[in-house]
Amino acid sequence: MKNISKIAAIVTSVALGGLYAGASSAEDFNIAFFAASSQNGFNQAIYAGIEEKAKELGVKTEMYDGQFNASHQYSQIEDVLASGKFDGFVLMANDTVGIAGAVEQIGAAGKPVVSTLFPIGPNLKTLDRQVDGLTATVASPPADGAREQAKEVVEFCKDKDPCNVVIMIGQLIFPFDNLRYETFREVLDAESNIKVVATGEGSYSPDVSLTAMTDILQANSDVHAVLSNADQHLVGVEIALDAAGYNVPDLFLSGGGAANIAINAIREGRWDATLAYFPKSMGSIALDMVVKKLKGEEIAESINMDEVGPMPFIINKAVLDANPDFVGEWEQ
C-alpha cells in the first residue's frame, strides 16, 4: 500500500538543483490558476491545495474560470499573460490538445506553467513533455485508470449473461474523456456477455447526469452496471435509478475522483468503486513546482499521481475497510 507520506516527500523533494543568484523571494511571486471551471468541485479542490501551499510559501494566487469552454480558456490565458500581472501559472486544461498554442505563448514569455490532471499534447498516454513551453505535468494517465475501472465491471459481470452496462462519461468532445470512453469500450467489448446498452454525457454535473440517466432508463429497463469517470455523475445516476425502482446496492456503480460523497457511498454499500484522485495534493505539488522554477531550481518534468497517492488505483469497500480513517480530498 502506498503511504501518504510519499505526497509530502514529492512536494518537498521535486527540486534537484539550487537557487540561482539574484532570484526573487517567494513573497514577490504572483501565480494564476487557470481552472477548467471554477464552479467545479474538483477544480476547487486543486485550488485549495494551491492556496494552502501558497500560504506556506508566502506567494499570491488567483483563480480564473475556464467555464468548461476551451476557446474561452485559450483567450483567457492570452489576456492574462498579456496583462503581465503573473509570474507563473498552474493549468487544468479543457482541451489538452487545443490549449498547446497558449502554453507555447507562456513559454515564449519565459514564464513557468505546470499542467494538472492531464498532460498537454496529442498523446494522453504519456506524461512526457510534448509541447514547447510546458514546464512540468502533475497528472495521472487517463487510460490507465479507465482500464482498471472497466476490468472491475468485467469481474462483476462474469456470472451475468447478458450484463447490461451504461457508460456515463463527461463530454466526448474532450480528448481525455474520449480516450477514457474508448478504453472503457476496448475492455468491455471484448467480453461476449457484456452489452453496453447506452452512453450518456454527464458534463461533470449531478443534474445533467440525472436527466441523461432518466432518459436512458426510459429506453432500457434492465441495467446491471453503470461505469462512469466522475463521482458527480453517480450522484444523479443514483437518483434516477431510485426513481426507476432499482435497488441500487444490487447494481455495480463505479465513479471517479475519490470524492467524499463516493467514499461514504462505498462504505455504506450503495456504490462499489471510485477511481482514486487527490486534487488538493495535485494542486499543492504543482504550485510548489512553479515556485521552485521561479527561484531557479531544477524540477522534475512530471509527477505521476498514481505513483505518489496514498491509495491504490481503485478504491472499493475492501480498500476502505483496510483504511478506516481515509477521507477524500474533495466533496464532489
pLDDT in tens, 288-331: 999 999 999 999 999 999 888 888 889 999 999 999 999 999 98
Using an 8 Å Cβ cutoff, are 310 and 4 in contact? yes
Which whole-number Å values give the CA distances from 277 to 18, 94, 106, 132, 167, in the listed order? 31, 18, 27, 27, 20
- What is 143-276's CATH number? 3.40.50.2300
| pLDDT for the residue numbered 15 | 37
Report the C-alpha gap between 220 and 137 in whole angstroms: 41
- Mean pLDDT of the 164-193 span: 96
pLDDT digits (tens, 9 = 90+) for 256-289: 999 999 999 999 999 999 999 999 999 999 999 9
Q: Which residues contact 202 (CB under 8 A, 6 or more apart)?
A: 168, 169, 170, 208, 209, 212, 228, 230, 232, 233, 236, 237
Cα angle, residue 126 at apex, residues 125 and 130 outer, rounded to 5°: 120
pLDDT band at residue 19, thresholds of 50, 70 and 90? very low
- Mean pLDDT of the 211-216 span: 98
pLDDT band at residue 57, thresholds of 50, 70 and 90? very high
| pTM listed for this prediction | 0.85
- Mean pLDDT of the 191-207 span: 97
Report the C-alpha gap between 212 and 291 in whole angstroms: 42
- Mean pLDDT of the 138-166 span: 96
φ, ψ (nearest 5 deg) of residue 304: -90, 110
Using an 8 Å Cβ cutoff, are 2 and 304 in contact? no
CA dihedral 172, 177, 178, 181 (to 10 degrees): -100
Q: According to the per-residue pLDDT averaged within each range, which of 22-26, 141-145, 190-194 is highest?
A: 190-194
pLDDT band at residue 93, thresholds of 50, 70 and 90? very high
CATH label, 5-139+278-309, candidates 3.40.50.2300, 1.10.10.60, 3.90.180.10, 3.40.718.10: 3.40.50.2300
Q: What is the percentage of the chain residues whose pLDDT exceeds 70? A: 92
Instruction: Return the closest-CA partner of residue 47 out of 59, 29, 61, 57.
Output: 61
φ, ψ (nearest 5 deg) of residue 50: -60, -45
- Mean pLDDT of the 80-101 span: 97
| pLDDT for the residue numbered 25 | 61
| pLDDT for the residue numbered 18 | 34
- Mean pLDDT of the 157-181 span: 96
| pLDDT for the residue numbered 106 | 98
pLDDT band at residue 9, thresholds of 50, 70 and 90? very low
| pLDDT for the residue numbered 91 | 98
Report the C-alpha gap between 67 and 45 in whole angstroms: 16
Whether 27 shows a pLDDT value over 90: the answer reads no
Report the C-alpha gap between 135 and 241 in whole angstroms: 44
Q: 170-173, long-range: CB within 8 Å, 24+ apart, which pairs?
A: 170/201, 170/202, 170/203, 170/204, 170/229, 170/230, 170/233, 171/68, 171/201, 171/203, 172/199, 172/201
For the chain, give me the number of helices (H) and strands (E)?
Answer: 12, 12
| pLDDT for the residue numbered 16 | 35
* Terminal C-alpha separation, the chain: 25
pLDDT band at residue 24, thresholds of 50, 70 and 90? low
| pLDDT for the residue numbered 309 | 82
| pLDDT for the residue numbered 76 | 98
One-letter amino acid of 117: L
Query: Structural domain boundaries of the chain?
Result: 5-139+278-309, 143-276
| pLDDT for the residue numbered 23 | 44
Preceding peptide of 249 cis, ω within 30°: no
5-139+278-309 and 143-276 have identical folds: yes
Whether 232 shows a pLDDT value over 80: the answer reads yes
Whether 332 shows a pLDDT value over 90: the answer reads no
For residue 241 the three cell numbers come to: 435509478
